[in-house]
Amino acid sequence: MSFNIDNIEAAVTEARAKGKERKIKFEQSFDLAVNFRKKELDVSKPENRFNQEVLLPHKLYPPAKVCAFGDGEFAAKAKEAGVNRVVSKEEIPKIAEEKKTRKALAKAFDFFIASIDSMPLVGRYLGQVLGSRGKMPKPFPPQADLKPVVDQYQRTVRVRMRNTPTFHVKVGHERMSDREIAENVAAILGFVENKGQLDKVASVVIKTTMGPSVKVSSWR
């Protein structure tokens, strides 16, 4: 299905204008809320709760933070690719010693990657804290070109639904154009469509970080 980009963009424009009315001095993000009809989507069933990465057409700002686990050639390539932090295999057990430290690591980064040989250590020491957040790293061989991987993460968001029939996800930043944000919204709706749940959507709402919610009308 092709979505009505013009109507989505109009809602983004309205949300931007209403956000500025509050005279917020910091740069704001744009968030999307997709609400489902409660009677039609039983979120008590795990198969009806989303928890998946979605690739957007436009990069978000600020860029997603990526952490890499590994040594040697893999670590060097990760640094060249622009990851925010590299954790050596030796550091992994040390980080796991303190609950606050391992939780802080999981919270500080949006995505994780790892060398194949570091994955057993990650699973053993950090698997619980990363797995519960849907952040277990993807493994790569030492010679892998990680630049495209890190670049792709700059356009990736996680759509996650918990115990209520709705999800919220970041789709843009005020530095982006209204059209770019609208196209990111359409990508999220496309994901919902691919899941076969589009007909159960009750409303689609856009808002800035501190601004009021704006309902997207006639987005289909």
Read off the pLDDT of each residue in 189-207 and give the average, rounded to a whole number: 95
Say if residues 95 and 125 touch (Cβ distance below 8 Å).
yes
The CATH number for 110's domain is 3.40.50.790
Residue 141 lies in a domain: yes
pTM of the predicted structure, to 2 decimals: 0.85
Read off the pLDDT of each residue in 185-202 and give the average, rounded to a whole number: 95
Whether 47 and 90 map to the same domain: the answer is: no
Residue 53 lies in a domain: yes
Whether 45 and 84 map to the same domain: the answer is: no
Residue 97 lies in a domain: yes
Cα(85)–Cα(69) distance, rounded to whole angstroms?
Answer: 9
pLDDT at 95: 95
**Cα-only R_g, the chain:** 19
Quick: pLDDT tens for 35-92: 999 899 888 888 888 888 999 999 998 888 999 999 999 999 999 999 999 999 999 9
For the chain, how many structural domains are there in total? Answer: 2
The CATH number for 196's domain is 3.30.190.20
Residue 134 lies in a domain: yes
